[in-house]
Amino acid sequence: MSVIVTRKKHTFPPDPSRVIARFLKVNDERSEDIIRSVLAFSESEVNASMMQLLRSYSERHRSVSRIFEKHFAKLAPVFDIMKMNGEDLNSSQKALIGAYFTMEYSIESAALFNPSIIENPDQSELQANEKRVIFSFRATGEGHVSSIVFHSGILDKNNNFIVEPVGKMLAEAEVIKRHIYNKKSFKQKLLEMQESSDIIPPEEIKGNLGKDNTISTVITGKPEKKIKKVKPISPAFILDKLGDSFTYGELMRNLVNEKRNSTLTDAHIKIINQILWLASSHYEVVFSIDSAISERVIFPVSATEQKGIEDARFVKFINDDGEVTYYATYTAYDGIAILPKLISTKDFYTFKILPLNGEIAQNKGMALFPRKIKGKYAMLCRIDGVNNYIAYSDSINMWHEAKIIQKPKYPWELVQVGNSGSPIETEDGWLIITHGVGPMREYTLSAALFELDNPEKEIGRLNTPLISPNEIEREGYVPNVVYSCGSIIHNDSLIIPYAMSDYSSTYATVNLKELLEELKKLGK
């Protein structure tokens, strides 16, 4: 292969000092003991404890006292059990109690990997041939919980990355807004969940299927009971009482009313659990305007992603009217099931999150094209875990049919072939960076070219990998893996960020003209 790959020396290692303050869940009985112990402190003991906490943590977290107060507010149900009014306490008591229910979580103590790169909305105050960019990463910490984090900086005329200072005062979203649901699409997703073995409602159902064909379940406001394995039923008994669109609060009120119904069957309880699970997967997060991009952490919010937000593939999408939206497809994981989801943002301060619906939205690795094709949204996907597919849709979050456009062909991709990010539009066609899995589960990166007007038709495909793990890159949490979630073009070069064995990340550059010529030559 005549294409030369230049590996850059810049690396993105995980930094265990980047921490967020999380709510520490404790059972009700122990929570009561802790609260009573703090309430027994004298005023001077409370003030002394708070002064020590602020000295130790005020420089590690922005507005740490406000975090303590927010976590105190989460204890309202415990105060109800104790038959106490927490609002009668003074601000120091509230903050100190909240501190006992707060923990630091190192978001990337285990790994910083599977990057994508996107053009920053802000391209002001740059020199010639420079581009301000945002790298997104999958950050993984204790318990292997994954979140999305960002680094920003400038690519200079030589494609060297000038990193902006990486903030230490990490910020979770200040505001979390629930979604307004469309009844028709909500009902459709419930039906898909019932039909798919990959999508099941995990959080409200606890325990495993036993030998007696039962599982234990806990539903808020209803005692634990045994539920027999039953056939799915229609969700109409809940949804028909709602309008064509409804809010999270309206849905919850209807569910509470239904739970008071003593005639509920096991099948009704199961569908209620599915509705609860799905409803929690739509939300919006808003970050403070005074936070740097590298300080914003999209941490799991809903039950569907409580074990991780995985492999976000960001793309700058230009609508027919020229409006720009930044989208990312990612995989939500709850420890049992996966759910493909979509992020949208205009400014990287406000992010809207919703599930991807439809029969083909059942697997990992969906990647959106950067514009519509013949009036339709287009998406790469790998619905069978082996081949590369393409799908079209009138709606960005509803995907029903897909066609195979690539199958494993070469020895280094015989296990599976998939995309490594959204397609890149060039004058010669859609450039797609692919990943292949070969012997010893070695992951490599390669490339293919497809027609602009008909991206189902392959123009050419590299017969060797672009990037294979070298001796340094093959050592890590998952050996022998290089993986990318999205590339861009800068100064006639292809910029490919990639992870090294699921531990840290780097990037490489390729001369775009040379790569396209090689792909066209191989297609003849």
Give residue 354's pLDDT.
84
pLDDT at 361 over 90: no
DSSP 460-488: EE-SS-SB---TTTT-SSSSSBEE-S--E
Quote the mean pLDDT of the chain: 88
Q: Domain residues of the chain, as ranges?
A: 5-14+107-176+282-522, 22-102, 180-279
d(CA 169, CA 252): 35
Give residue 195's pLDDT.
60
Name the 3-class secondary structure at 342: strand
DSSP 164-181: PPPPSS-B--SEEEEPEE
pLDDT at 424 over 50: yes
Using one digit for the tens of pLDDT, what is the confidence trace for 213-248?
222 222 233 333 343 444 556 788 888 888 898 887
Give domain 5-14+107-176+282-522's CATH number out of 3.90.79.10, 2.115.10.20, 2.60.40.10, 3.40.50.2300: 2.115.10.20
The separation between CA 502 and the C-alpha centre of its own chain, rounded to angstroms, equals: 16
Give residue 231's pLDDT.
53
Nearest to 373 by CA among 423, 446, 434: 423
Name the 3-class secondary structure at 152: strand
From 20-29, 351-360, 372-381, the region with the lowest mean pLDDT: 351-360
d(CA 397, CA 269): 28
Task: Find where tokens 């069978």 sit.
Answer: 384
Task: Find where tokens 């199961």 sit.
Answer: 270
Give residue 357's pLDDT.
81
Alpha-carbon radius of gyration of the chain: 25
Q: Hey, what are 313's tokens?
A: 């593939």
Give residue 331's pLDDT.
92
Using one digit for the tens of pLDDT, what is the confidence trace for 45-89?
999 999 999 999 999 998 899 999 999 999 999 999 999 999 999
d(CA 473, CA 465): 15
Q: Is 241 exposed, middle or buried (0-12, 13-18, 19+ CB in 10 A)?
A: middle
